[in-house]
Chains A and B, each alone.
Chain A
Amino acid sequence: MGPYPEVSVRSQLRRLAIRSLLPLSWKLSPGRVSSSLLRFAEVEADSAWQFLRAMEVLEQPHQRAAMFHDAIEEMEHSAGFYTLARTYASRPLPLCRDRREALLTGPEGLGEFLTYIYEGEREVYEEFEDYTTAAGRQDIQDWLTHIREDEEGHQDTALATLIEVLGGEQELARLVRSIRWRRNKESLARLSHRIGNLFSGVLLGSIFLVAGPLFGWACKQRMDSARGDRERRYGPPTLDAAAS
């Protein structure tokens, strides 16, 4: 554990939500088990991607090797979650359509990147404990327990590399505060996006209820027109003898 074991307010809120809402959510909708696990798989794969991109920026061989090591473990986690997601899925799993955003784009951002990783891994480590409790399914619990050990290792790697990069712990407190603030803003943005989606859904649904009866018939005619024209010109579809 690093020098900042205290948990942020945001993290506490998230953990509370996991403990209280997740069991109910998973019980009410089995499909959400699969989608949650798929989401974990995507997050872990994104972490691996971040580590690989960081390798291209880092110069010290041992740091690059550490990133490579963590990338491999994150890929394994992702594959494990994907397998579990498939177990609980009722249809083929969809492809991930999220946009990738590299956390590290140049050597100057290395401190922030490592702090971000450190904070992220710590949060995941804590949240996976809650997920393990809330999951209520042995296979998921076993997997979460297994990878929590790796996540703890990633925290340690990130912290050790960070201290090495910073040349000490003096700057650490400021960076942690800065990254926490950034992650809070990101969470707020995600929440705003969800609320926006809710409102836009209501608004667009209302538009559909008004526009559908008014224009639906005309649109259907437009869709059918191609086939209608063809049938008027050629008669009803018939089998093509040459192709039989």
Chain B
Amino acid sequence: MNILGLSAHYHDASAALAVDGELIATVAEERFSRLKHDPNHPRLAIDSCLAHAGLTAQDLDAVYFYEEPHTKFTRVLVSTLGGFPGTAGRFVQSMRTWLGDRLWLGNQLSKVLDLHPDRIHFVPHHLSHAAQAFLGSPFDDAAILTVDAVGEWASTSLAVGSWSDPGEIRVLETLPYPHSLGLFYAAFTAFLGFRPNDGECSTMALAAFGQPTRVDDVRRVLALHHDGTYALDGKCFDFTATKGSPFTRRFTDIFGEPRGFRSPVPLSVRGDHEPPTAELQVYLDLAASVQVVLEDALLGLCRRLHERTGLDRLCLAGGVALNCVANTRILAESPFTDLFIPPDPGDGGGAAGAAMYGAWQAGDTARPTYHPFLGPADPVDGIPAWVDHVEDELWTPGRDGSDGVQVEQLPPDALVEQVVSDLVDGRVVGWFQGRLESGPRALGNRSILVQPSHTEACDRLGLAIKKRASFRPYALSIAEEDARRVLELPDPTPLPAHWMQMVVPILPQARDSTRGAQHVDGTTRPQVCRQADNPRYHALLRAHAERTGTPGLLNTSFNERGYPIVATANDALLVFARTPMDTLVVGDLIYRKG
């Protein structure tokens, strides 16, 4: 059976394709449209998935959309009418969108894909997430926790999954909107001056600079119950505001005025900054407190879920599962012994969940393997002839300030050696290989790499290429064989450590050699790379470790600020040309400036 899964119309629209139960392709629309978190119908992503399998839309047996529009419409209608008269703007805006097209999504998909309407199905939002987390996991039985902003009505759901005959995914309990941990964290993200639904990573990063001195205040707006559930104080939040803040006057009475989004945050992950001002410290402490309360809430939910299921393995999904600090506490302090988080636990991965769920419902018995490298490849055959026609001065000068670019095609071993030499020399390397990663993490196929001990290269990466706030840390890639030389890693290696989904302390003796890829608290978000995960990248990591004796590379996503991770070689070349990146590797080709 050929099953297409889709997610769209909120953020991170995506498509995924399951063939005979196996998930063979998934990609977010943003990678093609170059619009970060693109919510629009994933036309280009669908084309890519179908092209990968050599199929057309007519070959599809069914299409599964990741949520139920009519149920969601009910929630939107009730929440906007319930806010009368203050929600007039929101009502008009929402109804225009919903009555205009979203309510008729089934017919639209049928028309766009030229499929009979009977082949279009809708899966409840949190069931898509649960399927995404459980069906792609290596577990036979597991508890499933989904925590996000909101689906149709549910914002948190507790479920159980089993592959045993008869297999099932059963939702045990849901906590409804507006009580939502995702919206809670997004509201504080807005309060701290970042863009909600995008800047949560900044809130998490800031938390490491503060002390959780305001936990009691935060618990006034998010009450944690003895039974593991929670409730937001509805008088403090306004999630129906059209353009205004998602918090109310009562909220600011407790927490003061929000931080201006242009106010500087002169903090560095290296800790070499001046002490923060008293004004900034207030926000840092608040970020730390919000983070602690979120973690406590998740631990409460884990305890509740464990009590209800008695299972030792947990699958976690929903946007909140991107909070790698919280994931670490779940692994360390919850009753669960194993944790699986899919590569793209947010709405983008909902398409994969819907596809796997559809295949499962259709009776496909093959057990899918959900790994990150399911996006399209961009095969490059030889040196593109057009590169010679580009004027030298168009390539932004690299480290040594000279113009122009040289291109070479090298055999794999020589290529790896050359890249290691470049990294050791402090060059910033763009690394573009094979199939695109799904999800927000670059895991060695669309990555920018730097030797983390090279301070000047790390600074150049942060200031001129990524233009990233200095308080946000970078991740560390390391081969599994070398990981325990650098990381204080539990044994066996937890699954989230393979895909940058948790944080791990760096051993004291490795602090200097990895300083560009650690946070101010001495932790890093590791990618512990196995040979089977990504052979070429693993070979590079091993070769670098052998040459330098100090394993680990700073690995950050291959993109410019405000843009998604690159998808094609041309996208990569554009970033290479526009920034002072020194080296670009595309397949077997190596482009070098200077």
- 8 Å CB interface, A168-226 against B: 197, 200-201, 204-205, 207-209, 211-213, 215-216, 219-220, 222-224, 226
Which residues of B are found within 8 Å of A94, using beta-carbon distances? 195
- Selected from A216, A219, A227, A239, the residue in CB contact (under 8 A) with B224 is A239
In the complex, what distance in Å separates the CA atom of A224 from the CA atom of B179?
10
- 8 Å CB interface, B63-102 against A: 77-85, 88, 91-92, 95-96
Distance in Å from the Cβ of A206 to the closest Cβ of chain B? Answer: 10
Complex contact B226–A227 (CB within 8 A): no
Complex contact B88–A208 (CB within 8 A): yes
The contact sample of 14 A-B pairs, CB cut-off 8 A, is: A61-B385, A61-B389, A64-B386, A69-B391, A96-B35, A100-B40, A205-B88, A212-B81, A216-B83, A223-B234, A224-B234, A227-B231, A230-B231, A237-B223
Asked if B411 is at the interface (CB within 8 A of a chain A CB), the reply is no
Asked if A56 is at the interface (CB within 8 A of a chain B CB), the reply is yes
Complex contact A95–B35 (CB within 8 A): yes
Asked if B573 is at the interface (CB within 8 A of a chain A CB), the reply is yes
Asked if B247 is at the interface (CB within 8 A of a chain A CB), the reply is no
Complex contact A95–B571 (CB within 8 A): no
Given contacts A238-B223, A240-B296, contact A68 B570 (CB under 8 A): yes
Asked if B388 is at the interface (CB within 8 A of a chain A CB), the reply is yes
Complex contact B578–A75 (CB within 8 A): yes
- Selected from A65, A212, A219, the residue in CB contact (under 8 A) with B390 is A65
- 8 Å CB interface, A65-121 against B: 65-66, 68-69, 71-72, 75-76, 82, 86, 89, 91-100
- Selected from A52, A197, A215, A238, the residue in CB contact (under 8 A) with B574 is A52
Which residues of B are found within 8 Å of A244, using beta-carbon distances? 296
Complex contact B391–A97 (CB within 8 A): no
Asked if B299 is at the interface (CB within 8 A of a chain A CB), the reply is yes
In the complex, what distance in Å separates the CA atom of A222 from the CA atom of B77?
11
In the complex, what distance in Å separates the CA atom of A237 from the CA atom of B231?
8
In the complex, what distance in Å separates the CA atom of A227 from the CA atom of B391?
65
In the complex, what distance in Å separates the CA atom of A76 from the CA atom of B84?
45
Closest residue to B88 on the A side, CB-wise?
Answer: A208
Complex contact B388–A216 (CB within 8 A): no
Complex contact A243–B224 (CB within 8 A): yes
Which residues of B are found within 8 Å of A223, using beta-carbon distances? 78-79, 82, 178, 234
Q: How many residues on the A side are at the interface (Cβ–Cβ under 8 A)?
A: 60
Which residues of B are found within 8 Å of A224, using beta-carbon distances? 234
Asked if B522 is at the interface (CB within 8 A of a chain A CB), the reply is no
In the complex, what distance in Å separates the CA atom of A61 from the CA atom of B83?
59
In the complex, what distance in Å separates the CA atom of A209 from the CA atom of B92?
11
In the complex, what distance in Å separates the CA atom of A224 from the CA atom of B82?
10
Most chain-B Cβ atoms within 10 A of its Cβ — which of A212, A215, A220? Answer: A212
Interface mask (B377-415 → A, CB under 8 Å = 1, otherwise 0): 000000011111111001000000000000000000000
Asked if B39 is at the interface (CB within 8 A of a chain A CB), the reply is yes
- Selected from A64, A212, A230, the residue in CB contact (under 8 A) with B229 is A230
Asked if A49 is at the interface (CB within 8 A of a chain B CB), the reply is yes
Most chain-A Cβ atoms within 10 A of its Cβ — which of B35, B80, B85, B384? Answer: B35
Complex contact B224–A240 (CB within 8 A): yes
Most chain-A Cβ atoms within 10 A of its Cβ — which of B34, B36, B85, B223? Answer: B34
In the complex, what distance in Å separates the CA atom of A219 from the CA atom of B178?
13
Asked if B494 is at the interface (CB within 8 A of a chain A CB), the reply is no
- 8 Å CB interface, B259-300 against A: 261-262, 296-297, 299-300
Asked if A62 is at the interface (CB within 8 A of a chain B CB), the reply is yes
Complex contact B85–A92 (CB within 8 A): no
Complex contact B570–A56 (CB within 8 A): yes
In the complex, what distance in Å separates the CA atom of A213 from the CA atom of B83?
10
Asked if A7 is at the interface (CB within 8 A of a chain B CB), the reply is no
Complex contact A211–B81 (CB within 8 A): yes
Given contacts A52-B574, A68-B574, contact A240 B82 (CB under 8 A): no
Complex contact A200–B96 (CB within 8 A): yes
Asked if A37 is at the interface (CB within 8 A of a chain B CB), the reply is no
Most chain-B Cβ atoms within 10 A of its Cβ — which of A48, A89, A220? Answer: A220
Distance in Å from the Cβ of B444 to the closest Cβ of chain A? Answer: 24
Asked if B176 is at the interface (CB within 8 A of a chain A CB), the reply is yes
User: 10 tightest CB-CB pairs across the interface, nearest first?
Assistant: A237-B223, A212-B84, A65-B389, A219-B82, A216-B84, A64-B386, A243-B296, A61-B386, A61-B385, A220-B82
Closest residue to A64 on the B side, CB-wise?
Answer: B386
In the complex, what distance in Å separates the CA atom of A27 from the CA atom of B554?
47
Complex contact B179–A226 (CB within 8 A): yes
- Selected from A61, A69, A92, A211, the residue in CB contact (under 8 A) with B388 is A61
In the complex, what distance in Å separates the CA atom of A223 from the CA atom of B574?
49
In the complex, what distance in Å separates the CA atom of A208 from the CA atom of B96?
12
Complex contact B391–A204 (CB within 8 A): no
Complex contact B226–A241 (CB within 8 A): yes
Complex contact A49–B33 (CB within 8 A): yes
In the complex, what distance in Å separates the CA atom of A92 from the CA atom of B84?
27
Asked if B589 is at the interface (CB within 8 A of a chain A CB), the reply is no
Complex contact A95–B224 (CB within 8 A): no
In the complex, what distance in Å separates the CA atom of A240 from the CA atom of B304?
12
In the complex, what distance in Å separates the CA atom of A226 from the CA atom of B155?
12
Complex contact B78–A219 (CB within 8 A): yes
Distance in Å from the Cβ of A87 to the closest Cβ of chain B? Answer: 9
Asked if B508 is at the interface (CB within 8 A of a chain A CB), the reply is no
Given contacts A204-B92, A208-B88, A222-B82, contact A71 B223 (CB under 8 A): no
Given contacts A61-B386, A76-B578, A92-B199, contact A204 B96 (CB under 8 A): yes
Distance in Å from the Cβ of A231 to the closest Cβ of chain B? Answer: 8
Asked if B227 is at the interface (CB within 8 A of a chain A CB), the reply is yes
Complex contact A204–B95 (CB within 8 A): yes
Which residues of B are found within 8 Å of A76, using beta-carbon distances? 578
Given contacts A61-B385, A220-B82, contact A97 B574 (CB under 8 A): no
In the complex, what distance in Å separates the CA atom of A224 from the CA atom of B78?
11
- 8 Å CB interface, B27-48 against A: 32-41, 44
- 8 Å CB interface, B199-257 against A: 199, 219, 223-229, 231, 234
- Selected from B37, B80, B225, B262, the residue in CB contact (under 8 A) with A237 is B225
